Amino acid sequence: MNEHIPKSHPRHRSLLLRERLVHGLEAGLTSRAGLIAHGRGEAFDYLLGERTHDFAREAIAAASALLWTARHPVFSVNGNVAALAGEELAGLAKAFPKLKVEVNLFHWSEDRLTRIVDHLEGQGIADVLGLGETEDLPGLESARRRMDRRGIASADVVFVPLEDGDRCEALVASGRKVITIDLNPSSRTAQRASITIVDELTRALPALQAQLVSDRGRGEEELVWRRTIHDNADVLRRAIERIRQGAV
């Protein structure tokens, strides 16, 4: 699929992600609007120097603590996440089996939902949710209000990368803790989430996986402490400051 992108190309990784998305569009996983949302992310990644900063590492450590101490954590997958990071998500789910995976779509169709579920299960993720009985998340009009009874409906912690602000707000208002990955520290999602990882999705997920593995067996008290002292406003302030410094 991507052998025509030379490894030496300075934007190799960025081009590879574009290829994954275009491929996802062709396979019916991603919507056309999803390509545009990706462009917004790319612009911020450029300004952040396309690397994982200390403020993202700090948020990843807090996210690991919140996930380990959660009762029922659920990872919410949209079309872009499915196309970009199926493999990375499969790695995460394997390292942290307590995590349930649920598909949630803005441009909803049963056909697209089924394709994404099949795609993720094909990557080795067991029992992907989203097609079962649902309940509505209060305060949200679009199809994204749907919550699988066995998934987000009964979750205490929801991981929603690349999300639109209104759903993040509704999830927080419902009393759930929300972890997000969002390259735009000023977005409503980034501002409203309990923990915001300002980093590119496919860089952040393997970093989180490594953190979850290193936290395995760590004492509950230490994890609760780490989760409690996390200062998301400070993380966002540092990310915005980094963008202000310029792209170099």
Q: Which amino acid is at 61?
A: A
Element of type H or E holding 227:
helix 220-229
Among 31, 104, 134, 189, contact with ligand ATP (rule: CB under 6 A): 189
Site for ligand ATP in 201-240 (CB under 6 A): 201
Q: Does 165 bind ligand ATP (CB under 6 A)?
A: yes
Q: Which amino acid is at 82?
A: A
Q: Which of 42, 87, 164, 215 binds Mg ion (CB under 5 A)?
A: 164
Q: Does residue 159 sit in helix, strand or coil?
A: strand
Shortest-Cβ-distance residue relative to ligand ATP: 41
Query: Which among 89-97, 161-169, 172-180, 240-248 is the span making contact with Mg ion, rule CB under 5 A?
Result: 161-169
What single-letter DSSP state applies at residue 152?
G
182 binds ligand ATP (CB under 6 A): yes
Dist CA 208 CA 63 (whole Å): 8
Which listed option, ligand ATP, Mg ion, none, makes contact with residue 123 (CB within 5 to 8 Å by class)? none
Tokens (6 digits) for 47: 């300004």
Binds 183: which of Mg ion, ligand ATP, none (CB < 5-8 Å by kind): ligand ATP
**C-alpha distances out from residue 23 to 17, 29, 105, 189, Å:** 10, 9, 18, 27
Residues of this chain that interact with ligand ATP (CB under 6 A) are: 37-38, 40-41, 44, 84, 162, 164-165, 181-184, 187-189, 200-201
